[in-house]
Amino acid sequence: MTASRALHRPDLVAEATRLRVEAAVEQTGYVSNSLAGGLTSRQTRLVAAIVPSVGHSLFSDMLDELVGVLETERYETTLGISRYDPMREENWLATMLSRRPDGVVLTGIEHTARSRRLLLNAGIPIVELWDYTPHPLDVVVGFSQEDAGRAAYRHLKACGYRRPALLRSDDSRAGRRALGFKRAAQEDGEPEPVEIVFPETNPQAGRGREVMTVLLQRAPEADAIFCSSDSLALGALAHAHAVGLKVPEQLGVMGFGNQSLAEDGVPALSTLAVDGAKIGNQAARALLARMRGDTASIAIDVGFETIPRASTHKKR
Amino acid sequence: MTASRALHRPDLVAEATRLRVEAAVEQTGYVSNSLAGGLTSRQTRLVAAIVPSVGHSLFSDMLDELVGVLETERYETTLGISRYDPMREENWLATMLSRRPDGVVLTGIEHTARSRRLLLNAGIPIVELWDYTPHPLDVVVGFSQEDAGRAAYRHLKACGYRRPALLRSDDSRAGRRALGFKRAAQEDGEPEPVEIVFPETNPQAGRGREVMTVLLQRAPEADAIFCSSDSLALGALAHAHAVGLKVPEQLGVMGFGNQSLAEDGVPALSTLAVDGAKIGNQAARALLARMRGDTASIAIDVGFETIPRASTHKKR
DNA sequence: GTGAAAGCGCTAACAA
DNA sequence: TTGTTAGCGCTTTCAC
């Protein structure tokens, strides 16, 4: 018991005793066993977080910040990868919860029924990210995907494009952005924008170059496209360049995310900026508050911003 | 005890009993406590892995594969982020080992003295990635960074460039590639290539555009550059375009990693291909073998490949 | 400032 | 096929 105190609450132990314990630790190579500790104390200082993919720069900015902030309070973050699949999230949750994390961070607000049940039974703080809803499981930090889609549509229209199309992966958030985009078109009394959806099998797949061929076949009249990510849009740019389509004159290209490479596109890529790091930061803070016992309800809308650059700057 | 068996070894339990246990689980919302389980059984089915950054596509390809393969054998992977700092790795190790992982995966072969001590004391399988050494702590899966640097130099020379320079972040692997590059120049009897190093503070920092300005000032005579990553090289491409430098005629640009966006560069980016997924796969297999009790020594050199594309295709 | 007792929830080992 | 016993390594609680 004294040894335990010397390690965790050194102020409660006599200097001499502490020194003896430290010497013994050093000499024996002792490493405490937090399984045993967690079993007794009922807290693990573990936060379990799951994202669709670690390759995506938005998620990695978010993670970097989340992990960093939690670290300052001595919480460790363990990571799951869902590959945009709610069943994978469910399986991950089922095994993860047996490690008794002190908090959980999820991507999105769509979860299987069992996931919800597990989560609610666990009785720990939960943060849902990247989407906004007034009725989260517990805490939510995100923005309205539908509004983002609307904003993209409005931007393209404002730039003078008449037939904007959609190019996106099949993840559900991109789907909701597309929905907002199409609704905005509808409200304008325009025909429904053509939409090309490809499977998000892996981060490399469905690259702009290949999918653009499909788009140009299916919608030869399209004069602008809103892509579900910047890297996709960059691929589209490359394809347009290859087939001699002038951007932005003949084709407007808009990305999503405002990753650093968007600026490096030729021409520089117009995009919707989302602050991944900010989401991670707010999520970490909210989670810490909850784990401290704070029960005030939290729902944070971090918003997004339209970034006009050369790729949609049509000279009329 | 019977309940425990019904959940983990259902074949050892009568059908009727198993059903009763399952019903009870369902009804009570029981979730097993693997802290207690691990305490008794002395295995946690946890693998702890640390990478410098999750944003980098090479690491994320590797992680995806590592996590995926370990998952098939019901091992979970928990992730640390070192930000290229051995002290952060040490701190992560110190707290991580108290969770008693069954195996550890590290990036690189450079670790602090205490890290080494902790690791060796822990008595668990260790895999070091991305570098090759004949004398690993336990298992190593990687390639020779120095040879990679040499290969880049040779490629640029073979393309007809006479004054290749180096543009790199301050991570130690990029440093070893630079070393190989400079040694190859020396062996050719050429002057030492100019080298611009910038801090790897965060994945967004030190972007090609900004650093290129410095390079062109410090080495106006440079007619080719070898960048420490593809995204950096893409930034360099954008900068060259902006200042009217013709690539590949006036400036050869070479990246590292062969990320999918390298092909989308304008012009397409020459690079050194490294198979992150393969490294992750081999690492997972090696670790599984070790955790199964296999003690044969393992050191795998996965090699790399030079990918010539338009950005170094100088027409002489 | 230190220590003794008890128990967290599970599984290894053995017994029936 | 099921059950009993013991103990994993800590921390909570309480006594000194």
Which residue has the least CA–C1' distance to nucleotide C9? Answer: B36
Whether A98 and B122 lie within 8 Å, measured CB to CB: no
Report whether B239 contacts B208 (CB < 8 A). yes
Q: Closest nucleotide to residue A30 (Cα to C1')? A: D9
Mind listing the pLDDT tens digit for each residue in A107-149?
Answer: 999 999 999 999 999 999 999 999 999 999 999 999 999 999 9
Place of tokens 């993860």: A96
* Portions of chain A given CATH number 3.40.50.2300: 43-139+277-295, 145-275
Whether A266 and B266 lie within 8 Å, measured CB to CB: yes
Distance from B116 to chain A by nearest Cα, in Å? 12
Which A residues, 93 through 122, put their C-beta within 8 Å of a C-beta on chain B?
94-100, 117-118, 121-122
Per-residue pLDDT, averaged over B229-249, amounts to: 91
Which tokens in the block code for residue A110?
């769509």
Report whether A266 contacts A240 (CB < 8 A). no
User: Is pLDDT above 90 for A250?
Assistant: yes
Q: Where are the alpha helices (DSSP H) in chain A?
A: 2-8, 15-28, 34-41, 57-72, 86-96, 113-122, 145-158, 172-187, 208-218, 230-243, 260-264, 276-291
Tell me what the pLDDT averaged over chain A comes to: 93
User: Per-residue confidence at B214, pLDDT binned at 50, 70, 90?
Assistant: confident
Whether B241 and A266 lie within 8 Å, measured CB to CB: yes
Domain at A43-139+277-295: CATH architecture: 3-Layer(aba) Sandwich (3.40)
pLDDT value of position B261:
82
Is any Cβ of chain A less than 8 angstroms from the Cβ of B278? no
Estimate in Å the CA B39 to C1' D1 gap, whole number. Answer: 26
Whether B234 and A264 lie within 8 Å, measured CB to CB: yes
Contacts of A212 (CB under 8 A, 6+ apart): A167, A235, A236, A239, A240
- Among B53, B235, B260, select the one facing A264 at the smallest CB separation: B235
User: Is CATH 3.40.50.261 the classification given to domain B145-275?
Assistant: no
Q: In this structure, are strands B224-227 and B252-254 parallel, antiparallel, or unpaired? A: parallel
In the chain, the amino acid numbered A235 is G
Mind listing the pLDDT tens digit for each residue in A219-243?
Answer: 999 999 999 999 899 889 988 988 9
pLDDT value of position B316:
62
Whether B39 and A44 lie within 8 Å, measured CB to CB: no
Q: Which residues surround strand D, with CB < 7 Å?
A: A 1, 4, 8, 30, 32-33, 36-37, 39-41; B 1-2, 5, 12-14, 16-17, 36, 39-40
pLDDT value of position B231:
87
Dist CA A5 CA A23 (whole Å): 15
Tally A–B CB contacts below 8 A: 139
Contacts A76 to B, Cβ<8 Å: 78, 95-96
